[in-house]
Amino acid sequence: MSGSALKLIAVVTMIMDHTGDIFFPDQIWIRCIGRLSFPIFCFLLVEGFLYTRNLQRYMMRLLVFGLISEIPFDLAFYGEIFAWNHQNVMWTLLLGLIAISFMSMVEYDNIYVRSLIRMLIAVPFGITAQLLHTDYRWIGVAMMTAMYIFHDMELLRDAAAAFLMMPVFTNHIEYYGILSFIPIHFYNGERGIINRRSGWLLYVVYPAHLAIMVLIRDHICT
C-alpha cells in the first residue's frame, strides 16, 4: 500500500468522523470508522519528516494551515469564531514535527541512551500541546514521537502507539483507532500517485471540508 493510499484512507475517514460528529451524532458507527484517521496522519508525518527535502517548508505548511483551519474548526465544533479551549489538529502535528526534528539531532550509538534522551526531548512539546489544548493534546505528540523512535521496529512501533492511545479511551469508539495499524502494516514505502504539488490539496481539504460542513449545517439544514 503506497503513501498515497494511506493519505486517502486518512482523509476519507477524517471526513466521515467529522460528518458523524456534526450531522449524525447518534450514528456511532461513523465515528468508529473515523477513529482510523489520526494514527495514520501521525505515521505519515513521521514518514514525511524522514523523506522531506525541506523541513522548514514542511513546518511552515502546517503553521499556515493551522492558522487557516482554526476558525472553521471552532465554528464546526463549538459554534464560535474563536474557542480557546480546543485547537485544531494541525497544531498537534506541527508540535510533533518540531519535536521529531530536535530528536533527530541525538545520535548516541547506545540505542537505550539515544531513545531515552529523545523521549525526554519530546516532553516539553507534549506539555505545550496540553497547555494549548490542541487536538489529542500530549497524546498526539507522544504518538508521533513513539512512531519516530521505533520507526524501524514495526511491532514495537505499533504497540507503543496503541498503548499511548489508552489515555483517550474514555469513550469506547476510541478503541477502533487501533484498526489504523492494519493499513499502516501494509505500507510499502512508495509515494504513490500523490506528488508534492498535489499533496497540497490534502492540506486544503482540512479547513475546506469543515467550512463546507458549517455552511450546510447553519444555512441549509436550518
**Tens of pLDDT along 54-63?**
999 999 999 9
Name the helix (H) or strand (E) containing 135.
none
pLDDT recorded at residue 53: 83
Q: Please state, rounded to an integer, the average pLDDT across all residues of the chain.
A: 88
Q: Is residue 107 predicted with pLDDT exceeding 90? A: no
Question: Which region holds residue 27: left if phi is over 0, alpha if psi is between -120 and 50, else beta?
Answer: beta
Q: Is residue 180 predicted with pLDDT exceeding 80? A: yes
Residues 6+ apart with CB under 8 A from 94: 59, 62, 63, 66
Strand-pairing partners, residue 87, are 134
Mean pLDDT of 191-206: 73
pLDDT recorded at residue 179: 86
End-to-end, the C-alpha distance of the chain in Å comes to 42
Residue 198 — pLDDT band, cuts 50, 70, 90?
low
pLDDT recorded at residue 175: 79
Residue 182, φ and ψ in degrees, nearest 5:
-70, -55
pLDDT recorded at residue 220: 78
Mean pLDDT of 68-87: 93
Mean pLDDT of 44-65: 92
pLDDT recorded at residue 197: 58
pLDDT recorded at residue 171: 65
pLDDT recorded at residue 215: 93
pLDDT recorded at residue 73: 97
Q: How far apart are CA 18 and CA 94, in angstroms?
A: 21
Q: Is residue 88 predicted with pLDDT exceeding 90? A: yes
Q: Where are the beta strands (DSSP E) in the chain?
A: none
If one compares 39 and 169, the residue with the highest pLDDT of the two is 39
Q: How far apart are CA 75 and CA 31, in angstroms?
A: 19
Q: Is residue 199 predicted with pLDDT exceeding 70? A: no
